[in-house]
Structure 1
Amino acid sequence: MTKTWEELEQLQPIVLKMLKNSLLKDRVAHAYLFEGMRGTGKKDIGFLLAKSVFCHEPIEGYQPCEACTNCKRINHGNHPDIHLVEPDGLSIKKAQIHALQEEFAKTGVESKKKLYMLVHADKMTTNAANSLLKFLEEPHPGTMAILITEQAQQILPTILSRCQIIGFTPLSPKNLEKKLVQQGVNPQMAPVLASLTNNLDEALEMSHDDWFVQAQKIVVKLYEVLKKNSLEAMVTLQENWFPHFKEKEQVDRGLDLLLLIFKDLLYIQLGKIDHIVTLSESSRLEQYALQTSGRRLTEQMAAILEAKRKLHANMNPQLLMEELVLKLQEGSSLV
């Protein structure tokens, strides 16, 4: 499904503004490097730029009309002057770059313009990269390149110096939420995932991970027993938390989930209900928010962040959690 200019503008407003200015001023570069995390719209925007350049009647001088033969052929992936190069196996080979050069030595089929897009440009072999470099140093008139990568640091500096580098920012939590729901993730779970990572792949992986689903339940249970006596909280640690959160990374993820609950309580108190991410527990959280103060919540959040710091400084996770639970319970009967 091809994306419109408006849709992609919501995803990457700064990138689209730069491209719009270049198109309007007729200053489109002969080589671009689109760099950023996976799932940030690099390939979609590459095709959008191709349509803008090849479109017979661009709207307002920069937006592809989506109706002309060029726009339609690009959307269907069969425009003769647009070439997509992706890794053949694990890498982009020298032969693929040579085939591209031979293709580009011919005159454009439809016009004098030709465009090629290299996906995962960081996966070029050394020979392929050197061949491409010659191609970039002496571009044919009307030739345009779009290199796409998640790892710009893996690309030859000499190639980077010949491209206009455009950085793609990570998805905002709201955009990531939308993408997750589109991919079939439970709408109640999507906000939590989007709060823990801005990487679409990682979020999708977590959504299918039984360990993560169980972790959420244990964290909610721990929060609930915190309001009871310290003995019950310690028993919950022993029986539920420690058997589940074994690795350091797992404990860190558990602390992140716990922090989200306290953040949600604070949002409820501030009347920012639309900011809540633990949607499955929202009605219970609204009750709990009445039983505490903003100051207390801030102290508890600070204690969790301090526990995360100690975890990274290699403090014993068991001791750390016992200490944290006692801190979180301090004065809880007074609020």
Structure 2
Amino acid sequence: MKTITQKELSHAYLFTGEEGAGEFEVALGIAMRLFCENVKNGYPCGKCNECQRILNFDNPDVVIENTNDRSIKVDQIRRIKDEFSKSAVEGNKKVFIISGADRLTSGAANSLLKFIEEPIGEIVTILITENKNLVLPTILSRTQVIEFPHLNREDILKQLTSIGVPPSSVNLMLSLTNDLTEIKSWLKDNWFENIQVAIGQWFKYIIKGDAMAFPFIQTQLLGIINNRDEQRIVLAIMVQIFREPLMIKFVGNSIQREFPQLTDSIDTAKDRLSASQLTDSIELLLMMNNSFNSNINFQNILEETTLKLLDIAKR
């Protein structure tokens, strides 16, 4: 923020750091600082109409591209190019925040370059990546690279506690992501807690070889899953829940349990299933990601995998 106060803000940045290091939040903070109606000590107030609009992604002069696609193609950049060429809608400043800079195809990157090199008016472009080594050299050479420091576990735990993550969910969440923004989205309407309970019940059916695991997918589990991002998280949790009894078999109870509320069921799985059965189950679950990335129907993926897991449990 000091850079903005001293009017030394560059026209193009590349923020790089591990997931959850705060790159996106800082980018939003810069946008808020530029538009804030009530700057205090060089920082945006976070409460004025302009700050709230940016936080709600409702300012036409703050353009955000935050896609989970495996690559960002030329077609996806066209909208941004159009926005680059327009005058600011409500003032003379525009901010562009593009996550996943390492996923820009060469064509998409080239489409952005001339606008980065020759900005029209007061334009600030912020690209974000977890790995700058995967960013095209042409982008690296034309942006000011800002590296965010690594997060340590203690700092992350403090942040999770501050946003209300229950202790029973902390270790599992940290095995899935360090991104506080993503974690906050999981906390809405107790979604993460509900999905933990549902997957826990599904797991209990599986380890007992109970065929109720199959209808449970449609009657209980699918109703909690609302979008593709949540589908991805469900697949990851299923892998982790089978990994825990295998780890206890090899390492003992010294591991940090990710499912403390399922201690009895995890221990039952450890005692009832062999290392071979658990390993085969994990390999099968990992294969779900291939089907998922191939856009196979999610319900079909879960149901087919559940039947195979039941077969493994009954061996």
Under TM normalisation by the shorter chain, which class is it? 0.5 to 0.7
Q: CA deviation at 1:248?
A: 4.2
Q: 2:148 aligns with which of 168, 174, 180?
A: 168
2:212 counterpart SS class: helix
For normalisation by structure 1, the TM-score amounts to 0.54
CA contact (8 A) 1:266 1:297 kept: yes
Sort the Cα spacing of 1:164 and 1:298 in 2 relative to 1 into closer, same or farther, 3 A: same
Give the AA of the match of 1:332: A
Residue number in structure 1 paired with 2:194:
214
2:146 counterpart SS class: strand
CA separation in 1, counterparts of 2:284 and 2:121?
A: 53
Give the AA of the match of 1:198: N
Q: CA deviation at 1:253?
A: 2.3
Q: CA deviation at 1:96?
A: 9.3
Q: Percent identity?
A: 21
Give the AA of the match of 1:128: E
Residue number in structure 1 paired with 2:244:
264
Alignment of 1:185-264 (within 5 A): 185-245=165-225, 247-264=227-244
CA separation in 2, counterparts of 1:122 and 1:319?
A: 36
Between the two structures, name the one with larger relative contact order (CA 8 Å, sep ≥ 6): 2
CA contact (8 A) 2:15 2:128 kept: yes
Give the AA of the match of 1:190: V
CA separation in 2, counterparts of 1:206 and 1:259?
A: 18
2:211 counterpart SS class: helix
Sort the Cα spacing of 1:164 and 1:262 in 2 relative to 1 into closer, same or farther, 3 A: same
Moved more, 290-299 or 265-274: 265-274
Aligned residues between the structures = 231
CA contact (8 A) 2:242 2:282 kept: yes
Sort the Cα spacing of 1:245 and 1:306 in 2 relative to 1 into closer, same or farther, 3 A: same
Alignment of 1:51-90 (within 5 A): 90=59
Q: CA deviation at 1:261?
A: 0.6
Q: Deviations over 1:268-316 (max 9, x none)?
A: 1222633321222234313321222222212111111112211221223
CA contact (8 A) 1:206 1:212 kept: yes
CA separation in 1, counterparts of 2:22 and 2:299?
A: 42
Sort the Cα spacing of 1:192 and 1:331 in 2 relative to 1 into closer, same or farther, 3 A: closer
CA contact (8 A) 2:20 2:177 kept: no
CA RMSD after TM alignment: 4.5
CA separation in 1, counterparts of 2:247 and 2:154?
A: 16
Q: Which runs of 5+ in 2 are unaligned?
A: 1-8, 27-39, 63-87, 99-115
CA separation in 2, counterparts of 1:314 and 1:191?
A: 29
Residue number in structure 1 paired with 2:122:
128
CA separation in 2, counterparts of 1:184 and 1:251?
A: 23
CA contact (8 A) 1:188 1:280 kept: yes
CA separation in 2, counterparts of 1:159 and 1:225?
A: 51
2:168 counterpart SS class: coil
Q: Deviations over 1:217-271 (max 9, x none)?
A: 1101011011334532223223222333364443332222111111211221222
Sort the Cα spacing of 1:33 and 1:186 in 2 relative to 1 into closer, same or farther, 3 A: same
Sort the Cα spacing of 1:172 and 1:292 in 2 relative to 1 into closer, same or farther, 3 A: farther
CA separation in 1, counterparts of 2:139 and 2:292?
A: 41
Q: CA deviation at 1:33?
A: 5.5
CA contact (8 A) 2:209 2:313 kept: no
CA contact (8 A) 2:288 2:305 kept: yes
Q: Does 2:156 correspond to 1:179?
A: no
CA contact (8 A) 1:225 1:233 kept: yes
Q: Deviations over 1:73-98 (max 9, x none)?
A: xxxx85xxxx66898764599x999x
CA contact (8 A) 2:24 2:128 kept: no
CA contact (8 A) 2:171 2:256 kept: no
Q: Deviations over 1:11-58 (max 9, x none)?
A: xxxxxxxxxxxxxxxxxxx9895714685267999xxxxxxxxxxxxx
Moved more, 220-229 or 251-260: 251-260
Q: CA deviation at 1:122?
A: 5.0
CA contact (8 A) 2:13 2:144 kept: yes
Alignment of 1:26-45 (within 5 A): 35-36=15-16, 40=21
For normalisation by structure 2, the TM-score amounts to 0.57
Sort the Cα spacing of 1:34 and 1:150 in 2 relative to 1 into closer, same or farther, 3 A: closer
Bigger radius of gyration among the two: 1
Give the AA of the match of 1:270: F
Q: CA deviation at 1:170?
A: 6.5
